[in-house]
Amino acid sequence: MAFNIYLCGVGGQGIGVLAAALAQAASRAGLEVIACDTHGLAQRGGVVSSHIRIGADALTPLVPEGGADLVIALERLEALRGAAQYLKKGGKVLYYNTAYQPVGVRRGEGAYPSEEEVRLAVQGFGGEALNVNYPDMADPRMQNSALLGLVASLGAVPGLRAEIIEEVLKEIVPPAVLDENLRIFRAAV
């Protein structure tokens, strides 16, 4: 069976870079990878997602609903949404613990979930949720590196070692901000 990773976040958070780094690392580790980003209108502050499927029996790029072994989210509400729709029983949710309120919540039309609510909900889906947060981060786009660090430290993707992820990070991140990204990546490892 393929190992399925569903990545999600809010348009503008740079999920494409996170997904590209992880897919590239898996490929370099000798795993068979098929992946896909979803683009479109959602890039403007809506829900964005990327899909990575590892293993020879994955012929199509989208992770099936309820079929993700791993959900990686760049934001708390999206962690909950991604898990509700995609998490497989026994799967893991790794998310960056930051909150971007959707307009409905700001208009007083809905509630935004707390960390505890996300933890319990994911438990209800038969999975486990873990998060990271670095309050002193220089640029929110480095949240990607924090999540990659968490993936690496947990060995969350079978067959993918931390060193390979770090190697890819070094190639993808622009030189000017590489040191800071590596510091954040290694903090979790």
List contacts with another protein (CB under 8 A): 10-12, 20, 23-24, 27, 33-47, 57-62, 64-66, 77-78, 80-81, 84-85, 89, 98-108, 110-113, 121, 124-125, 138-140, 168, 171-172, 174, 176-177
Q: Which is nearer to another protein, 155 or 179 (CB)?
A: 179
Minimum distance from CB of 62 to another protein (Å)?
A: 6
Q: Which is nearer to another protein, 111 or 155 (CB)?
A: 111
Q: Which is nearer to another protein, 154 or 157 (CB)?
A: 157
Task: Using DSSP bridges, classify how beta strands 87-96 and 68-73 pair: parallel, antiparallel or unpaired.
Answer: parallel
| Residue 43, helix vs strand vs coil | helix
Q: Which is nearer to another protein, 57 or 154 (CB)?
A: 57
Minimum distance from CB of 81 to another protein (Å)?
A: 5
| Residue 188, helix vs strand vs coil | helix
Q: Greatest CA span in the chain, whole angstroms?
A: 49
Minimum distance from CB of 57 to another protein (Å)?
A: 6
121, containing H or E segment: helix 115-124
Task: Name beta bridge partners: 128.
Answer: 92
What is the Cα–Cα distance from 6 to 131, expressed in whole angstroms? 16
How far is CA 171 from its chain centroid? 19
CA angle (80 as vertex; 100, 75 as ends), nearest 5: 30
Minimum distance from CB of 130 to another protein (Å)?
A: 19
Q: Which is nearer to another protein, 58 or 147 (CB)?
A: 58
Minimum distance from CB of 145 to another protein (Å)?
A: 14
What is the Cα–Cα distance from 99 to 2, expressed in whole angstroms? 31
Q: What is the dihedral of CA 51, 54, 56, 58, to 10 degrees?
A: -20
